[in-house]
Amino acid sequence: MKTLSNKIFLIIFTLTIIISACNRNAVNNKLTKLKDTTTMNMVKHTDEEWKKLLTPAQYYITRERGTERPFSGKYTKTFDDGTYYCVCCGYELFDGESKFESSCGWPSFCDIINSDHIKIVDDYSFNMYRKEVRCARCDAHLGHVFEDGPKPTGIRFCINSEALKFVPKK
User: pLDDT tens, 65-77?
Assistant: 999 999 999 999 9
Q: What is the pLDDT of residue 12?
A: 57
What is the reported pTM? 0.77
Biggest CA pair distance of the chain: 68
Q: Write the pLDDT tens digit of every residue in 149-169.
A: 999 899 999 999 999 999 999
Query: Strand pairing of 130-135 and 141-146?
Result: antiparallel
Please tell me the distance from the alpha carbon of residue 76 to that of residue 13, in angstroms, as a whole number.
Answer: 35
Does 30 have pLDDT greater than 90? no
Sketch out the chain's domains with CATH numbers.
31-168 (2.170.150.20)
Q: Which residues are catalytic?
A: 158
Give alpha helix (H) positions in 31-103. Answer: 47-53, 56-64
